A and B are shown apart, each in its own frame.
Chain A
Amino acid sequence: MARNRQQQEVNAGSMADIAFLLLIFFLVTTQINSDKGLQIKLPPKADEQDKTQIDIPDRNLFKILINSNDQLLVEDEILNDPNLLKGLVYEFINNNGENSELSDSPLEGVVSIKTDRGTSYDLFIKVLDQVQGAYYKSRGSLFGLSATEYLNLDPKNPKQKAKIDKAKESFPMRISIAEPNKIGG
């Protein structure tokens, strides 16, 4: 009986402090894993046998060349600011046969990016981002959305999924990334 009368309490006052310490540890070490980026699809392996030349009319080809000094040549003209590319590509895709130098329709236009071995990856990403941005802008404009709003559509939602599918059908992303030149560096 005498034993039972003794208080058996554990001092829990410092519990919060310990929890805080652990909390701060996890707060600092947490990196919310982000698998985000620019997705592209590579062309299948080139077979030696069926190397047929596919002729694309010049008007349906939007050529972007980047040399080893990170200089841009867009449709045979020098471009100094890569941030202007988005507007040019947008115009090219949405031409629909109006201007005789730009694409016939979004379904036929191809954007070709050709780099050199010495081109910096940083600039390549910038260019690719601009081109993809132009496509997202076109897709969004189908429904009166901005590019960001289009990208925020949820593919799990059937209604929004239908929108995405329709946009993809109207504006297939036809970006060709050519093998870089062997010269330069």
Chain B
Amino acid sequence: MSKFRKRNKAKQEIPTAALPDIIFMLLFFFMVTTVIRQDKLLVEQKLPDAKDITKLERKSLVSHLYVGKPKEEKFGQEPLVQANDAFVRMDELVLWVTRERDKLDEIDKNAMTISLKVDQETKMGIVSDVQQELREANALKIMYNTPQLIEKE
């Protein structure tokens, strides 16, 4: 019994003084990694997934185009193309590409990549129209943005 009593006298408290520091560290990590979305999405975005995808090395060279059904009904039911914060018409796409390209440094102009975020309900018609316009604008590197497919067994 005397042995037990001795052990009970030992301090059983865990020092919690460092807890706020740990939490702060986690907090800073998430604050730094968080990217507040620049573009407000006006179209539906449910991307199809693919298995063998590649990653883009330099994010500064990427411009995004969103294609999908408009979220608000007043814009109709047909899929539309969104660039930055607004809808663009097909004939404005070439101008948009030129503007995006002007933002890049001279040496990077050929490496510009257009990332197409297309809703999975979309038909290929509008996608190929966009591609034709991109060819017209000489923006030939494109990427179909897709998340990683997680295979079910």
Contacts and interface: CB of A to CB of B under 8 A. Distances in A.
Interface string A148-183: 100100010000000000000000000001011000
B34 A42 contact: no
B143 A117 contact: no
Contacts of B23: 16, 19-20, 23
A145 interface: no
B123 to A, nearest CB: 5
Interface stretch (A56-64, A91-99, A125-133): A125-133
Contacts, number: 154
B31 A35 contact: no
Given A125-B48, A125-B144, A132-B52, A45 B135 contact: yes
Contact of A121 (B34, B37, B53, B119): B119
A132 to B, nearest CB: 6
A85 B50 CA distance: 14
A30 interface: yes
Nearest to B23: A19
Contacts of B143: 35, 37-40
B50 to A, nearest CB: 4
Given A36-B148, A37-B146, A129 B51 contact: yes
B123 A121 contact: yes
A111 B17 CA distance: 64
B48 A42 contact: no
15 contacts: A16-B23, A19-B23, A20-B23, A26-B34, A27-B30, A36-B145, A36-B148, A41-B141, A42-B140, A44-B138, A116-B124, A121-B127, A125-B50, A129-B149, A155-B57
Interface of B: 16, 19-20, 23-24, 26-27, 30-31, 33-37, 48, 50-57, 59, 62, 113, 115, 118-125, 127-128, 131-132, 134-136, 138, 140-149
Given A33-B35, A35-B62, 15 more contacts: A29-B34, A31-B35, A31-B37, A36-B53, A36-B56, A39-B113, A41-B140, A41-B142, A118-B123, A119-B124, A121-B127, A122-B120, A125-B146, A126-B48, A155-B57
